[in-house]
Amino acid sequence: MIKVTIPNDIGEKVTKLAKGKKTTQEEIVVEALRYYLPIVEEGLEDELRAWDKLSDEALANFEAALKEKEL
C-alpha cells in the first residue's frame, strides 16, 4: 500500500465527489489513477519512440558529416 499526501484543494474535490457518488475517497483516487496511468504509459512510449527517431537522425547526420570530411 502506498500512502500519498494530497493538496487541500484536490482533497476537497475528492471528498465532494466521493460524497456525491456515495463511495470512499480512496475509491475515487484509485479510479482516477486507473484512468490516468494507461494514458501516461502510452504517452511515454510515444515520446521514447520520438527520441529514438531523433537519435537515429542525429547519428546519420554525424556519420554523413564524417564522410564529407574524409572526401
Q: Is residue 66 part of a domain?
A: yes
Q: Is residue 29 part of a domain?
A: yes
Domain enclosing residue 56, as ranges: 8-70
The residues, ordered by sequence, that sit 6+ positions from 25 with a Cβ below 8 Å of its Cβ are 11, 14, 15, 18
Q: Is residue 1 part of a domain?
A: no
pLDDT digits (tens, 9 = 90+) for 15-28: 999 999 999 999 99
Structurally, the chain folds into a number of domains equal to 1
Q: Would you tell me how many other CB atoms lie within 10 Å of the CB of residue 14?
A: 18
pLDDT digits (tens, 9 = 90+) for 46-67: 777 888 888 988 888 888 888 8
Q: Is residue 2 part of a domain?
A: no
